[in-house]
Amino acid sequence: MSQEQLFKKLDESYEEMVSIRRELHRYPELSFEESETPKKIAAYHRNLGLEVTEKVGGRGVVAKLQGGKPGKTVALRADFDALPIDEETNLPFKSEVEGVMHACGHDAHTATLLVLAKALVDIKEEIPGTIVFIHQHAEEIPPGGAIDMIKDGCLDGVDAIFGTHIWADFPIGTIRYRKGPVMAATDRFELDVIGKGGHGGLPHTTVDAIVTASQLVTNLQSIVSRKVDPLKPAVVTIGSFHAGKAFNAVSGKAEITGTVRTLDQDVREMVEHELEQVIKNTCHAVGADYRFVYERGYPTLNNHDKETDIVIKAASHVVDKENINEMEQIMGGEDFARYLERVPGAFFFTGARNDKYNATYPHHHPKFNIDESAMLIAAKTMGSAALNFLNE
């Protein structure tokens, strides 16, 4: 009965959900620079009569709803940071902040969780246990906001956690899930190749950093093709290459940055080790030196079996069963992985692509948009999953 009541409350509040999303979209804030957004989130929850804690882990917000009956504790999470992108849509609510845009749907995640909290408050006397609403800052930039929010106690007493990503790659009306590894560990590296500069007409008196670094760009690809088990996904991507200024000079320094994506911890450790081995051997072979910095980012996002089954069951009450499907693994990363290292839970994907609304562009694109009805699907599925867990 509580699920039926929840869905009815959410249907009645859909326009409010849209309004909140559009207001947040107009005033986006970058990772680790969020100031007004968390204030708005905290004020909304306080108006619902919830216990609210601000500045959790720096800029996060946590609100708690105590149900009318004793029971377990479940957490629901949404992120609220934006990206450094100039928006190129013609939406009437497009970003008013130059160079900043909600191009990944975090505005929709926040609106979804806020209105879901409101609907759950209306039926709180029937809820057995506690629901924790985690609003996370800085999901887009490692080390991310989750790690400090966890240190600050956002998961204290939590028995399970659920979250969703509204996903423009999947059509509206669909839910995607996967047990076990779903999203990759996301590491980054910086490499300076240090040679000896000189005259472009006298290359024999130099150690050419550009030639050496160019060899490295090719050599590093052999790690995935020749060192990693082909049945275990891995990616080594060079993202930037900067060297030299003059056309007639041999550059003494080249700067490279890149990312490593893996789903298996052993592969992650092996790739990190092999990167430096290839760099060292390539540089030393020509008499160059190097500076190498490897930074581990988010861990692999691993969904737990039992909680994923709860999501599947919840989704079956929201969309047609044929639209609930197991998804392929994604080599993108997600800060939600840190929560799943601490407590059982599941992270699922809510389809939001719709040609009718020109919602066809990928995430992080300047023309990114969603079919906003995906928020209602996400709210119903996440809310139903929380109630199913508490009612077990």
Query: What's the burial of 15, exposed, middle or buried (CB within 10 Å: 0-12/13-18/19+)?
Result: exposed
Maximal CA-CA distance, the chain: 82
Q: What is the mean pLDDT of residues 105-126?
A: 98
Cα(80)–Cα(42) distance, integer angstroms:
13
Give the ranges where 235-392 is alpha helix by DSSP (H). 265-285, 305-315, 337-342, 373-390
What positions carry a catalytic annotation?
81, 139
Q: Is the pLDDT of residue 292 over 80?
A: yes
Tokens 């928020």, located at residue:
375
- How far is C-alpha 162 from the chain's CA centre? 14
Closest CA to 334 of 106, 175, 116, 153: 106
Q: What are the pLDDT digits (tens) for 192-242?
A: 999 999 999 999 999 999 999 999 999 999 999 999 999 999 999 999 999
Q: What is the mean pLDDT of residues 138-166?
A: 97
What is the pLDDT at residue 312? 98
Cα(15)–Cα(23) distance, integer angstroms:
12
Give the ranges where 201-358 is alpha helix by DSSP (H). 209-219, 221-226, 265-285, 305-315, 337-342
Q: Is the pLDDT of residue 309 over 90?
A: yes
Cα(377)–Cα(307) distance, integer angstroms:
18
* Structural tokens at position 384: 């139903």
- Asked if residue 309 lies in contact with residue 243, where contact means CB atoms within 8 angstroms, the answer is no
* Structural tokens at position 349: 């994907």
- What sign for the dihedral angle of Cα 152, 154, 155, 156? positive
What is the pLDDT at residue 361? 97
What is the pLDDT at residue 98? 97
Give the ranges where 27-154 is alpha helix by DSSP (H). 36-47, 106-122, 146-151
Q: Nearest 5°: phi and psi at 167?
A: -120, 115
Across the chain, mean pLDDT equals: 97
Q: What is the mean pLDDT of residues 94-116?
A: 98
- Asked if residue 61 lies in contact with residue 117, where contact means CB atoms within 8 angstroms, the answer is no
Q: What is the mean pLDDT of residues 56-84?
A: 98
Cα(299)–Cα(183) distance, integer angstroms:
9
Beta bridge partners of 198: 250
Q: What are the pLDDT digits (tens) for 377-392?
A: 999 999 999 999 999 8
Q: What are the pLDDT digits (tens) for 316-359?
A: 999 999 999 999 999 999 999 999 999 999 999 999 999 998 89
Percent pLDDT > 90 in the chain is: 98
How does residue 368 score in pLDDT terms, banded at 50, 70 and 90?
very high
Q: What is the DSSP string of 299-318?
A: PPEEE-HHHHHHHHHHHTTT
Beta bridge partners of 175: 324, 350
- What sign for the dihedral angle of Cα 373, 376, 377, 378? positive
Cα(140)–Cα(334) distance, integer angstroms:
8
Strands (E) located in 1-88: 51-56, 60-66, 69-79
- 244's torsion region: left (phi>0), alpha (psi -120 to 50) or beta? left
Closest CA to 173 of 20, 378, 335: 378
Q: What are the pLDDT digits (tens) for 233-284?
A: 999 999 999 999 999 999 999 999 999 999 999 999 999 999 999 999 999 9
Cα(392)–Cα(386) distance, integer angstroms:
10
Q: Is the pLDDT of residue 1 over 90?
A: no
What SS3 state is found at 129? strand
CA dist list (Å): 245 to 163, 164, 212:
47, 46, 17
**DSSP category for residue 83:** B
- Asked if residue 293 lies in contact with residue 286, where contact means CB atoms within 8 angstroms, the answer is no
Tokens 């839970």, located at residue:
345
Cα(220)–Cα(274) distance, integer angstroms:
9
- Asked if residue 217 lies in contact with residue 238, where contact means CB atoms within 8 angstroms, the answer is yes
